[in-house]
Structure 1
Amino acid sequence: SGFYRSAVDFINAVPGGVFSSFTNIGKVNISGVDGELRYSHKDWLSFTVNASYMDALNADKSSTVFEDRIPNQPWLFGNADLGLGKNDVLGKDSRIQFNWFSQYTHWFYLNWPSRGFADGKSRIPTQFIHNATFTYSTHQGRYNLSLECRNIFDQTAYDSFRLQKPGRSLLVKLRYFIQ
């Protein structure tokens, strides 16, 4: 799908110090495309991949940063999910499921691209993070035990204010559905 939006009084988060603030940009033109592909085979295989490209430009002609890309917003990103599962392996109404998730975010500037010199600009680096889960469920999904590893390869990751996110983490989840 494709999209276009002409926004007036666009509110944008501005990083700074301990607290962030917000700024009002008079006019912003946003255009882009989104795409997603899904495939599944019976109840044992599923695959999804999606990607988005978004070009958000300052359209306020009175601004000193006219036609600059809006800062602190990723403009190219995507996700993928591969799932493998099998029913009734360890008993009736049980399921074993493995999922591999990948998240990609292309680098983007923290501040206005036209301000400052190229080597001195703060930017959020490209990130490609992988996560995996293994889940065992019984009684048609009523009882669940999951093992999850986030950021498997311990890549350096940042939020949109260039604050570093935690590295690799291992989690155990127990879930029970009350009916």
Structure 2
Amino acid sequence: MKARSAIRRIVGAAVAAGALTWIAAAGGVTGGSGTEPIATKAVADEGPPDAVENFAYPNADKILAEQKIKLNSGDGHILLAECTGAPELMEVFSHKNEKVCFRVTGDKGYLSLEIPAVFGVKGNDYDARVEMSAGAEQKTFTVDKNAWTAVGESADKQGRDFVLLEIRTSK
């Protein structure tokens, strides 16, 4: 009996809402004075408030000023970390920044950044690739798991400086 009563209330509310919508759309409802129609607009046209994720790295300006590391954007699964020597950290070696470390989480990760003069990366348990550039040339290096990998200058026959642009990881 209670279920029927609840269903009747729901159906009644739906019918009433539909009737009001139809009347308003047909221009049958007027404003307070009874002469001007009430302005109506579709809620769907308005959309939700702006809450667009731009994937910008949090505190990037402060990190750039203090550590000279430009962190552009990412998916939140590769994070700048304190270099403690922990085996789960990925370590990036640069002539300009010495050692920079990253903690990787999740099944896959992406980070867009800029670290100049990178010459080596120590991998962790993840499969990893780094995208680097020397002038207009871009190169991708596969990083060995839990080992040092020569990248950039140390892997280049001409010994050019390379800028680290991206880190991509996966399990």
Larger C-alpha radius of gyration, 1 or 2? 2
The structure whose RCO (Cα within 8 Å, separation 6+) is larger is 2
| TM-score between both structures, scaled by the size of structure 1 | 0.26
Structure 1 or 2: larger strand share? Answer: 1
Structure 1 or 2: larger helix share? Answer: 2
| TM-score between both structures, scaled by the size of structure 2 | 0.26
